[in-house]
Amino acid sequence: MKIAFFDIDGTLTSEIDGSVPDSAKKAIRKARAAGNLMFLNTGRCFQNVEQRFREVGFDGFVNGCGTHIVIGDETLLYVSQPAERIHDIIKLSREIDVDTLYECRYYVTFDRTLSIKHPAAKRQAERFLERGYDIAMNIDDPNFTCDKFVIWYQTEDQLAKIREYTDQYFECIDRGGTFREFVPIGYSKATGIQKVLDHYNLPLESAYAFGDSNNDETMLSYVKHSVAMGNAESEDIIKNAAHVTTKASEDGIANALKELGFF
């Protein structure tokens, strides 16, 4: 039995329009029917794993870069942050006036006391609103917390100031340009994979990881059978992968699953 872990954006979904190719859906279902395990492994927290992804048919989900793992109806792991720590980050984000998105398994939200400035942050907010999300929650509630967060900054000084505090608790992942993802230290897509393998009592050699971006590097470097999408964000991802498939929009998942013997 093999077990496959898929990133969402640019891996499960087309890099062109964000749709899930029919070939990917059929191949994942076929691989699962053949007795293999299929998992999403994403930086998205569970609330933001849209129904169109869930209905593809997966055995489980590694969410929030390894901070929340769901297998069937069972929560195998869930790690949230102390409210006091997140409120320190909220205060700091306001002081330096940086666009911050707070993510947890129940919601995603911006700080409604600040205007969204960065063009990419504005586009993300628009996409959330199109999905019907409430992205203006009361983050001043003393009980408010989150699992992880991302920022879009305008100046290097903003990034340096927030990292003065966050580096003791979070790993800062460069997502390209002025976009950064902050994941609790000790958690990653790779730790998520190992937790799932332990649950099924499977060896690491059984695991295959599919990805295309910088926050996939931990899982791609962790497993022996790493698969880089042809549309990967950097040449390093392609160069360091054990296998390279076609672009997500060009049947990349289907081609790789067939080539690697999942069915």
* Alpha carbon 3 to its chain's center: 18
**Strands 179-184 and 148-152, bridge-based pairing:** antiparallel
CB 55 within 8 A of CB 77: no
> Cβ of 129: how many Cβ atoms within 10 Å?
12
Co-location of 223 and 246 in the same domain: yes
Co-location of 146 and 198 in the same domain: no
In tens, the pLDDT along 48-77 reads 999 999 999 999 999 999 999 999 999 999
Co-location of 195 and 178 in the same domain: no
Co-location of 71 and 128 in the same domain: no
- End-to-end CA gap in the chain: 11
CB 160 within 8 A of CB 96: no
Task: Say if residue 78 is exposed, middle or buried (CB neighbours under 10 Å; 0-12, 13-18, 19+).
Answer: middle
Range of the domain at 176: 83-184
Co-location of 34 and 121 in the same domain: no
Angle, helices 252-259 vs 22-33, to 10°: value is 30
CATH classification of the domain holding 143? 3.30.1240.10
What's the confidence (pLDDT) of residue 246? 98
Q: Per residue of the chain (263 residues), what is the pLDDT tens digit?
A: 999 999 999 999 999 999 999 999 999 999 999 999 999 999 999 999 999 999 999 999 999 999 999 999 999 999 999 999 999 999 999 999 999 999 999 999 999 999 999 999 999 999 999 999 999 999 999 999 999 999 999 999 999 999 999 999 999 999 999 999 999 999 999 999 999 999 999 999 999 999 999 889 999 999 999 999 999 989 999 999 999 999 999 999 999 999 999 99
What's the confidence (pLDDT) of residue 68? 98
Task: Say if residue 263 is exposed, middle or buried (CB neighbours under 10 Å; 0-12, 13-18, 19+).
Answer: middle
What is residue 232's three-state secondary structure? coil
Co-location of 178 and 245 in the same domain: no
For tokens 């499977």, the residue is 202
Co-location of 191 and 64 in the same domain: yes
Closest by CA to 38, choosing from 51, 27, 52, is: 27
Q: What is the pTM of this model?
A: 0.95
Amino acid at 105: R
Co-location of 75 and 192 in the same domain: yes
Which of 184, 216, 232 terminates a domain? The answer is 184
CB 12 within 8 A of CB 40: yes
Co-location of 69 and 192 in the same domain: yes
Amino acid at 138: N
Co-location of 143 and 15 in the same domain: no
Which of 184, 211, 226 terminates a domain? The answer is 184
Co-location of 198 and 150 in the same domain: no
* Alpha carbon 2 to its chain's center: 22
CATH classification of the domain holding 63? 3.40.50.1000
Q: How many domains in the chain?
A: 2
Co-location of 92 and 160 in the same domain: yes
Which of 150, 184, 218 terminates a domain? The answer is 184
Rounded to whole angstroms, how far apart are CA atoms 109 and 102?
5
